[in-house]
Chain A
Amino acid sequence: MQFQIQSSSYGPIGIAALSGRLDAANSYQLRRQFDRCLRTTGKFVFDCQDLNFIDSSGLGALVTCLRKAFDAAGDIRLAGVAPKVRLVFELTQAEKLFTFFTNTDQALASFNDRSIKLEATS
Chain B
Amino acid sequence: MKTLLIIKANTFAWLQAVFPDRTPLMASVCNKPLMEYLLDFAIMCGSRHIRLATDMSPAKVEAVFGDGGRWGVELTYALIRESDDLAAVLLKNSRYCFGSRLLVMEGCFFLRYDKQRDYASFMKTAAPGELMSCATGRILIHDDTPFQPALEADESPPPMALTHLQSIGDLYRQSLRVLEHDAHQYVLPSYNTEGDVYLGRNVMIARSARIEPPVIIGDHVQIHKKAVVGPNAVIGRNVIINAHSQVRRSVILDKTYVGDHLVLDQKMVGGCQLVDPSKDTMVKLEDAHLLSSIQILQGWERNRFQRLGHGALAAFLWVCLAIPYVVLSFALKLRGQWRRKEETYWANRRGRTTRLAGVSFNSSGLCGRIAARLALDRYPLLGRVILGDLALIGTRLLTSTVANRAIIEMDASYRPGIFNYVEAENWPVPEPDQDIINNFHLARQTLFYDLVMMAKVFLNKLNKETALCESISK
The residues of A with any CB-CB pair to B shorter than 8 Å are 53, 55-56, 83-85, 87-88, 90-93
Contact = CB atoms under 8 A, between A and B. Distances in A.
Interface string B285-329: 111011100000000000000000000000000000000000000
Contacts of A87: 267, 274, 276, 281, 283
B263 A88 contact: no
B287 A84 contact: no
B282 interface: yes
B264 to A, nearest CB: 7
Interface of B: 259, 261-265, 267, 274, 276, 279, 281-283, 285-287, 289-291
B276 to A, nearest CB: 6
A93 B259 CA distance: 13
Q: Name A's interface SS.
A: helix
Nearest to B290: A56
Given A55-B287, A88-B290, A92-B290, 14 more contacts: A55-B289, A56-B289, A87-B267, A87-B276, A88-B274, A88-B285, A90-B265, A91-B262, A91-B274, A92-B261, A92-B262, A93-B261, A93-B262, A93-B263
28 contacts: A53-B283, A55-B285, A55-B287, A55-B289, A55-B290, A56-B259, A56-B289, A56-B290, A83-B276, A84-B281, A84-B282, A84-B283, A85-B283, A87-B276, A87-B281, A88-B283, A88-B290, A90-B263, A90-B276, A91-B262, A91-B267, A91-B274, A91-B290, A91-B291, A92-B262, A92-B263, A92-B290, A93-B262
Chain B CB within 10 Å, residue with most, of A53, A87, A92: A87
Chain B CB within 10 Å, residue with most, of A53, A88, A90, A91: A91
A4 B199 CA distance: 55
Contacts of B290: 55-56, 88, 91-92
B253 to A, nearest CB: 16
Contacts of A93: 261-263
Contacts of B281: 83-84, 87
Contacts of B283: 53, 84-85, 87-88
A85 B284 CA distance: 10
Nearest to B258: A91
Given A91-B264, A93-B261, A83 B279 contact: yes
